[in-house]
Amino acid sequence: MATPQQLKDQASSVAGIYSDLQDEILKQIIKRLNDGGLDKIDRDNVLKWQMQKLSELDKVNEDTIKQIITATKMGNIQIEKLIDVITDAAVETADNGLEQATGLSKQPMNEVDTVMKGLTDQTMGDLNNNVNQKLISQNFKDTAQAQAYTDIVNKTTAKVVTGLKSPQQALSDTVYQWQNQGGLKSGFVDKGGHHWTLQGYANTLINTTVPRTYGAVTKQRMDDYDYHLVLYPAHPTAREACAPIQGLVVNMVPPSDPKFDPKYDTVYNHGYGTAGGALGINCSHWSFTVFVPGVSTNNLHPVSPEQAIDNAKVQGNQRRMERAIRLSKSKLQAAEELGDQDGIKHFKLQVRNQQSAIRQLVKKHDFLSREYSREKVYGSSITKPKTAKTELKPSIKDSEIINAFEKTNIKEAFGDEYYSQFKSSISNLEDEQLRKLYANYGQDIEFANVTKAANNHAFTDGNNVHLGNSSFEGNEINEPMQTVFHEIGHAIDSASMNDVYGKQLIPTGGQVKKRLAGKTYTFDEEAHHVTGDPKFDLGNTIKQDLFDYINHGEAKSPMQMGKRPRKKAEKAIWMEEDSKSWEGVEKIRDFIRDTKPTALKNLKKYSDVSDIIDGTGYDAFDCPWRVGHGSKYWNDYGNEETEFFAEYTSSRAANPASLALIKEIFPNAAKICDSLIDKMVEAKK
C-alpha cells in the first residue's frame, strides 16, 4: 500500500509532466527565434524579420507537436494510474478500521467503483477542456503555444524598433517577461476573472487529485459500512476551516443525518464540500483515520487554532518564496538557451539570494522545514521518458521477491513478527528498479538473528546482514524498515561483484598504507563493492555534486584544480581560481551551519545527507547534522561509495523525504547508482 507521502510524490511527478512541457515549448520557440540571423537585424529591417518569423508559425507546430502529444497521452495514462493507486490505498486503510469498528466483513465495492469512475472522468474532462484543447487544435493559431510564439515575436520587434535594445537583448527581455506572466495560458478563467496559466491549472488540478480521491473514496467506504467517526489529522499549520477541528474526533455526516453523533463536531460545520473548506483544494488533512470511542487512542496534540492559522500565513510566505526560486531557475534555463551571459550571471545570483532568504525564514520558525522538491524545476520527462525508473504498477510480483529471500535463512533470523513486517514492506514497494534488484539478489544474502538488546547496532559483513529491533521499528533518524533496506543495499553491493566481474575483488589502481605491528606497509588497493569500481568515479562525483549544488558552477572544486603551474602567468591564474575554490568550500560549511537547526528538527529527512556530507570531508567537524560515521571511519575504510549506495537505495525503499533531498543535492551520483543497479540486475540474468 502506498504511503501518503508516496501518493503526494506521485502526484507531483504527474504534474511535472506539464512543467516539463512548458519548458520544452519555450525551448523550441527560443531555438526558432535565436537563429544565426538575429544579430543581423536592426530597426530598419526588423519588420521584415517579424513577417518572416510569423510566417514560420506552422513550423512551430512541427517543432512542438510531438512533445505535446507525448505529454498529453502520458498525463492521461498517469492520472488514471494515480487515481487507481490512491483508491487502493484509501480502501485498504479505511476497511481495516471500519471492519474493526463495525464487526462487519468486507463490504461490496460497487459504489467505490462508481465514485472512482466519476472522479477519473471529471479530472480527465477538466484537464482535456482547459489544458489539452489549448495545446492541440485544428486551428493552430488559436493554441497556447502559437499565441506565445506570436506574442514573443511582436514584443521583441517593438523593442528593437525603439532602438533602445539590441535584437538579442530584446528577445531575452521578452522571454523573461513572458515567464513573469506565467507562461502558457489554459482555458480556465475563475469567478474573479483571473485567467489561469496552463502550468498553474494543471498543477492545482493534479495535486488536488490526491486529497479529493482519498477523501471521496474513504467517505464512500464509511457510507458502505454505515460508520462515520474519524480522527481529523493535526499539523502545525492549518487553514481557518480546519484549525478548530485538528486532532479531534469528528463526524463525516451532517447534523441532520440520523447517524450523526452529537458528542462530536462535524466537517460539515467547517466548509466541507467547498474549495476553501475542510478537505477542500490544497487541504493537507485528507489522510484521516477511522476512530472508535473507547477502543481507539487519540495521541495527537495540536497547536491552538489561532497559532495554526498564524503558522499557515508564515508557511504561505515560504510557498511564495519557493515559487520565486522555481521561476528564477526556469529563467536561468532560458538564459542558457538564449546564450545570454549577463542573464545567466544575474539569475544564478538571484537563485542564491532567494535560497538564502528562505533559509533565514526556515531558521526563524521551528515549524517550517526546507522542502527542496518545491524549489526544483523538473527535468524533461517528455523528451527523455526512459529515465523514469519507478512505475505505479510494478511488474515484478511480490512472490518473486519473497521467494528469492526465502531461499536464505531470513524467516528464522527475523522471527514471525519482523518477517511479516518485511513482507509487508515488499508489498508496499513500488520502485520497479529496486524490486528487480531484490528479486535477483535476495537469495545471495545471509542474515544473523535479530538482536533485541538496547542500542543494538546494524552492520553488514560481506553479504551477511546483522540487524537489531530498531532496524525494523525505526528511530529518531530512520523510518521503519529503512535500516533493513540500508544493510541489504550493502550486501547486494558486495554480493553482485561475482556476477558483474566474475570475482569478489578488483584492483582500483591506487595504493593504501596501513600500520601493522608498529610498521607502515603499502598495499595495492582493491574494491570489494561494485560501487568502488574507479571507472564509475562515484566517490568524486558525490563530492563534486555537493560543491556544485552550493556554488552553482561558479568555481572549480579542489578536485578540479590540479597541480599548481610553474609559469608565472599561469600560476597567477591558478592561484586566483584556487582562492575561489576554497571560498566555495567555505560556502559548503556555511550551508551546513545554516541548515543545521532545520536538520536537527527533522533528522529522518536529513540524516542520510548528513552522513554523505560527512564522507566528503568538506566539513571541518564530524557528523555535520549530528549523524555520520566520523573521520576515523572514512580514513580507515574510505567506503563513501557503498555508504551512498546504501543510503540512496534505502531512501528509495522507505524514506521519500530523504530521497528527495539526496536527489536534489547529489543528482549525478544518484544517476550513477541508477545505472549500477541496472548493471547488477543485467549481470544476474
Q: What are the tens digits of pLDDT across the range 640-651? A: 899 999 999 999
Question: Would you say 594 and 576 are in contact if contact means Cβ atoms under 8 Å apart?
Answer: no
* Residues facing 516 on adjacent strands: 519
Q: Indicate if the pLDDT at residue 16 is higher than 50.
A: yes
How many Å apart are CA 617 and CA 620, to the nearest integer? 7
Say if residue 316 is in the same domain as residue 339.
yes
Detail the DSSP E strand segments found in 137-288: 185-189, 195-197, 229-231, 249-251, 265-266
Report residue 385's pLDDT band, with 50, 70 and 90 as the boundaries.
very low
Q: What are the tens digits of pLDDT across the range 420-430? A: 999 989 988 88
Residue 39 lies in a domain: yes
Q: Indicate if the pLDDT at residue 391 is higher than 50.
A: no
Q: What is the mean pLDDT of residues 481-504?
A: 92
Higher per-residue pLDDT: 89 or 335: 335
Say if residue 50 is in the same domain as residue 160.
yes
How many CB atoms sit inside 10 A of residue 60's CB? 23
* Nearest one of 518, 492, 475 to 437, comparing CA atoms: 492
Residue 277 lies in a domain: no
- What pLDDT score does 280 carry? 86
The pTM score is 0.60
- What pLDDT score does 610 carry? 93
* Nearest one of 522, 542, 502 to 647, comparing CA atoms: 542
Report residue 1's pLDDT band, with 50, 70 and 90 as the boundaries.
low
Say if residue 123 is in the same domain as residue 86.
yes
How many CB atoms sit inside 10 A of residue 299's CB? 8
How many Å apart are CA 418 and CA 490, to the nearest integer? 20
Which of 203-207, 254-258, 467-471, 505-509 ranks highest by mean pLDDT? 254-258
Q: What is the mean pLDDT of residues 482-500?
A: 94
- What pLDDT score does 7 carry? 75
Angle between helices 4-33 and 198-225 (to 10 degrees): 160
Report residue 389's pLDDT band, with 50, 70 and 90 as the boundaries.
very low
Say if residue 350 is in the same domain as residue 458.
no
Region for residue 288 given its phi and psi (left: phi exceeds 0; alpha: psi -120 to 50; beta: otherwise): beta
- What pLDDT score does 509 carry? 75
Which value, to the nearest 10 degrees, does the dihedral of the CA atoms of residues 43, 48, 49, 54 take?
Answer: 130
Higher per-residue pLDDT: 568 or 460: 460
- What pLDDT score does 605 carry? 92
How many CB atoms sit inside 10 A of residue 121's CB? 10
Length of the chain as a residue count: 685
Element spanning 465, H or E: strand 464-466
Q: Indicate if the pLDDT at residue 189 is higher than 60.
A: yes
Q: Indicate if the pLDDT at residue 393 is higher than 50.
A: no
User: Hey, what amino acid is at 670?
Assistant: A
Say if residue 556 is in the same domain as residue 467.
no
Buried/exposed 357-395: b ≥16 CB within 10 Å, e otherwise: ebbebbeeeebbbbbbbbbbbbebbbbeeeeeebebebe
Q: Which of 292-301, 416-425, 508-517 has the lowest mean pLDDT?
A: 508-517
If DSSP states are collapsed to H, E and C, what string results for 42-58?
CCCCHHHHHHHHHHCHH
Report residue 3's pLDDT band, with 50, 70 and 90 as the boundaries.
low
- Whole-number percent of the chain with pLDDT over 90: 40
Question: Would you say 217 and 94 are in contact if contact means Cβ atoms under 8 Å apart?
Answer: yes
What the block records as the C-alpha cell of 24 is 520544452
Residue 605 lies in a domain: yes
Say if residue 108 is in the same domain as residue 193.
yes
Edge-to-edge strands, sheet with 459-461: 446-447, 464-466, 459-461
How many CB atoms sit inside 10 A of residue 260's CB? 16
Q: What is the mean pLDDT of residues 572-594?
A: 87
Question: Would you say 369 and 601 are in contact if contact means Cβ atoms under 8 Å apart?
Answer: yes
Residue 632 lies in a domain: yes
Question: Would you say 210 and 217 are in contact if contact means Cβ atoms under 8 Å apart?
Answer: no
Say if residue 200 is in the same domain as residue 325.
no
- What pLDDT score does 388 carry? 38
Higher per-residue pLDDT: 646 or 37: 646
Choosing from 192, 209, 227, the residue where a domain stops is 227
Say if residue 340 is in the same domain as residue 460.
no
User: Which are the contacts of 177, defined by CB distance < 8 A and separation ≥ 6?
Assistant: 155
Question: Would you say 176 and 39 are in contact if contact means Cβ atoms under 8 Å apart?
Answer: no
Q: Indicate if the pLDDT at residue 447 is higher than 90.
A: yes
Q: How many domains does the chain have?
A: 4
Q: What is the mean pLDDT of residues 622-639?
A: 81
Q: What are the tens digits of pLDDT across the range 119-176? A: 889 988 998 888 888 888 767 788 888 899 999 999 999 999 988 788 999 999 999 9
Say if residue 467 is in the same domain as residue 614.
no
* Nearest one of 656, 650, 680, 645 to 437, comparing CA atoms: 680
Q: Which of 10-14, 114-118, 182-186, 628-632 has the lowest mean pLDDT?
A: 10-14
Q: What is the mean pLDDT of residues 468-495?
A: 92
Q: Indicate if the pLDDT at residue 276 is higher than 70.
A: yes
Say if residue 378 is in the same domain as residue 408.
no
Q: Indicate if the pLDDT at residue 551 is higher than 90.
A: no
What the block records as the C-alpha cell of 349 is 545570483
Classify residue 351 by burial, with Cβ atoms within 10 Å: 0-12, 13-18, 19+. Answer: buried
Q: What is the mean pLDDT of residues 562-588?
A: 85
The rounded radius of gyration (Å) of the Cα atoms in the chain is 28
- What pLDDT score does 384 carry? 47
What the block records as the C-alpha cell of 234 is 493535526
Choosing from 452, 483, 499, the residue where a domain stops is 499
Residue 85 lies in a domain: yes
Question: Would you say 289 and 222 are in contact if contact means Cβ atoms under 8 Å apart?
Answer: no
Higher per-residue pLDDT: 36 or 147: 147
Q: Indicate if the pLDDT at residue 394 is higher than 80.
A: no
Pairing state between β 289-290 and 446-447: unpaired
Classify residue 269 by burial, with Cβ atoms within 10 Å: 0-12, 13-18, 19+. Answer: middle
* Nearest one of 111, 109, 82 to 13, comparing CA atoms: 82
- What pLDDT score does 387 carry? 38
Question: Would you say 372 and 664 are in contact if contact means Cβ atoms under 8 Å apart?
Answer: yes
Q: What is the mean pLDDT of residues 425-438?
A: 90
- Whole-number percent of the chain with pLDDT over 70: 94
Maximum Cα–Cα distance for the chain, whole Å?
Answer: 91
Question: Would you say 291 and 229 are in contact if contact means Cβ atoms under 8 Å apart?
Answer: yes
- What pLDDT score does 378 carry? 59
Higher per-residue pLDDT: 634 or 349: 349
Residue 597 lies in a domain: yes
Choosing from 195, 227, 259, the residue where a domain stops is 227
Question: Would you say 308 and 238 are in contact if contact means Cβ atoms under 8 Å apart?
Answer: yes
Q: What is the mean pLDDT of residues 648-673?
A: 93
Say if residue 354 is in the same domain as residue 446.
no
Say if residue 77 is in the same domain as residue 208.
yes
Residue 250 lies in a domain: no
How many Å apart are CA 79 and CA 470, to the nearest integer? 37
Angle between helices 568-601 and 603-616 (to 10 degrees): 150
* Nearest one of 437, 605, 587 to 5, comparing CA atoms: 605
- What pLDDT score does 576 carry? 85
Report residue 519's pLDDT band, with 50, 70 and 90 as the boundaries.
confident
How many Å apart are CA 59 and CA 68, to the nearest integer? 14
For the four alpha carbons of 380, 385, 391 and 396, in that order, the dihedral sign comes to negative
Q: What are the tens digits of pLDDT across the range 223-246? A: 999 999 999 999 999 999 999 999
The residue segments making up the domain with residue 421 are 398-499
Residue 685 lies in a domain: no
How many CB atoms sit inside 10 A of residue 525's CB? 14
Q: What are the tens digits of pLDDT across the range 58-91? A: 888 888 888 888 888 888 888 888 888 889 888 9
What the block records as the C-alpha cell of 414 is 527475523
